Structure 1
Amino acid sequence: MNGLIIRPCRVTDAPELAALYHRAVREGAAGHYDPEQRAAWSPAPPSGEEWRRRLVEAQTVVAERAERLLGFMTLDAGTGWIDFAYVAPEAMGQGVAETLYAVLEGRARAAGLTRLETGASLLAERFFGRRGWRVVERRAVALNGQHLPNAIMSKDLGPGLCHAA
């Protein structure tokens, strides 16, 4: 990814990440969820202290190019939960998610985590599945009068191993 920078989230990123999240849901997930489901999932870009807190308290990494945010992922290093994994619709399929994920998995391994988990949308399920994740449970999340199918997924990282040369 030429010119792609991965960096920690700053509290000042919250409004731009909210807009990116909203567009990723409304446009990027269009092939997997109908308009009513997407509107229930993200009726408006998130805002306020709760949104900022979720970004800042987790290990949130953002991808940017030319000072424009293209995606973000969050990891709760205490539990191994990946909460957010979103890419701007115009950057999908360009390696942004792969790069963000590689950074977070590396951090998880460095922290000694042996398992990662997430609640994956239908779109994210394919992404995680290609990286060795497995579906633990299929479910439908009720949001604003709609039911959105998703899956609880996990990946065992195993203990960190060092091999002698």
Structure 2
Amino acid sequence: MLLDGDEWQAYFRDFKRSAFRLEVHQTYTMPTEDATVRDFLAGAPKPDGFNVPWHRTIRDHAAAGRTMTRAKVVRRPLTPYSRYLFEWCIPGNVAAGEHYQVVDVTDQPNPGLPEQDFWLFDEATVVHLNYRPDGTQINRELIQDPDIGKYLAWRDLALESAVPFSAH
């Protein structure tokens, strides 16, 4: 089942305990980010109020005792997009309360993580984020009857293999 619009946004509003994201791609090509990525790459300063709505979402969940965690697989040298994430996006997310972890596979093999981005909500609901090789999102797919044990194991493996973003 493909998710879009409010149906997709509801997962971020309505989760009860936890939201975990595994990010495996080195570049994401999101139309909503085109201008800010271009500005970042041109050396512009980060705009005031950058990502404020997302930071509010993170803070609201944290205040209610719900956790938001990501594990980002990276390879050095960082892609321009990953540099944008590390300099403009992630620091604000972390300051708002997101637990952002980095799995650096530059000098070590992948520890067994899939080549599939996904969100895991409340350790029960899995949504695959499907991308083209250039990082353009194809769709968001709610996985029917997922093998939750497999996703929990991938989450745990990612977090065991990671260091907190703040350590970079």
Instruction: Give the alignment's TM-score, normalised by structure 2.
Output: 0.34
Tell me which protein shows more strand as a share of its residues: 1
Instruction: Give the alignment's TM-score, normalised by structure 1.
Output: 0.34
Higher relative contact order, chain-length normalized (CA < 8 Å, sep 6+): 2
